[in-house]
Structure 1
Amino acid sequence: MTDLTPDPHRPFGAKDWIGLLARLVLGGALVYAASTKITNLDGSVLSVRAYQFPFLSYSMEKTIGYALPVFEMVLGVLILVGLFTRIAGAVGLLTMLVFIAGIASAWARGLSIDCGCFSQGGQTDDPKYLTEIIRDTGFALAGLWLAVRPRTPFSVDNWLFRPIPAPGFHDSEFDDHHDADEDALVGEDTPR
């Protein structure tokens, strides 16, 4: 069975740098979106109400409107700093899929609203549903990338979750002792 744990000593490759770009794009978008709403939570509630979901009660709309900017801020910061990157990327992917479904629903029901992604949302004469869906699909792909390939440069995960050698051994000593143990197990007559 192949060990899927990334080697912390391996230099970062192109795919790792793409992951950093995905972190900056998705995390930055979430933090920016939250910052446009967090200072006006009542406007965030009105943005949720603009979607006119029949299954959401008044109190649920209010709860979502208040919680969403905080949720976006926390998730965005986790992604930006690279902490719990795989989980945060997966949650970012799911969040974007929910946003895409909401926008598509508003479009299908003939509503004329701004999605409220980077503003207070609400009624508009010029909805941009296709552009918003394409944009959020790009963010969703960034989340998917991070869920599949969480190793990225400059992430807190690299610092917190790197393997720790046994007490009394440095990495190079560990490698030397490991090789010596392997040599002892392989006898003179054993082919390599």
Structure 2
Amino acid sequence: RGESMRRLGQFAEIIVGVAFLWAGIVKLMDPSAFLSAILTYEVFSYKVSVIASLGVPYLELCVGACLVFRVMKGGARMLAVGLLVVFIILLSQAAMRGLDVDCGCFGSSAKSSEAGFFWPIARDLLMLVGIGLGIIAGGNANGSREK
């Protein structure tokens, strides 16, 4: 039972890692579209939005690579959780304010308000569950029980 749970946790984290890699690559392919998406949330100044549009994709790539290749797992888990919580907060505040936003998550041109905010928020919550499975099955957030 313990070995199968450990493998499930690893698999879940690898899936989350692939999602982060995909998101980072898509954003790097069209940084101006990602900047536009950030601006639709009406939360950050233009300067902060530019910095985020340049930095977040690289952070996603690093987190994704660490989760997929099983290195620096503790830090990658903490960063993934932090990013996902920020994404959920941004999506939730946009939904509550009735904003017509482009999620910016995976380069989709579909507006969150047209498709509803449910799927992007649910997807991020599922990724949090995946990280949680990895922590529960393989060790704490700093990886101390990992083999």
Q: TM-score, normalised by structure 2?
A: 0.85
Higher RCO (CA-CA < 8 Å; seq separation 6+)? 2
Ranges in structure 1 where 5+ consecutive residues have no aligned partner: 1-11, 152-156, 163-192
In 2, the alpha carbon distance for the partners of 1:91 and 1:41 equals 21
Contact 1:47 1:65 in 2 (8 A): no
1:140 alignment partner AA: L
Of the three residues 23, 32, 40, the one matched with 1:42 is 32
Contact 2:6 2:134 in 1 (8 A): no
Q: Between Structure 1 and Structure 2, whose CA radius of gyration is higher?
A: 1
Number of the residue aligned with 1:133:
121
Contact 1:87 1:147 in 2 (8 A): no
Contact 1:47 1:116 in 2 (8 A): yes
Change in Cα spacing, 1:122 to 1:69, as seen in structure 2 (3 Å) is farther
Ranges in structure 2 where 5+ consecutive residues have no aligned partner: none
Contact 1:85 1:146 in 2 (8 A): no
Of the three residues 56, 60, 72, the one matched with 2:48 is 60
Contact 1:94 1:140 in 2 (8 A): no
Normalized per residue, which structure has more helix? 2
Q: State the shift of 1:103 in Å.
A: 0.4
| Paired-residue identity, % | 20
Deviation by residue 1:100-144 (Cα, 9 ceiling, x = unmatched): 111001000001223111116585661420111111100011122
Across the aligned residues of Structure 1 and Structure 2, the Cα RMSD in angstroms comes to 2.4
1:41 alignment partner AA: P
Contact 1:103 1:115 in 2 (8 A): yes
Contact 1:113 1:121 in 2 (8 A): no
Q: TM-score, normalised by structure 1?
A: 0.66
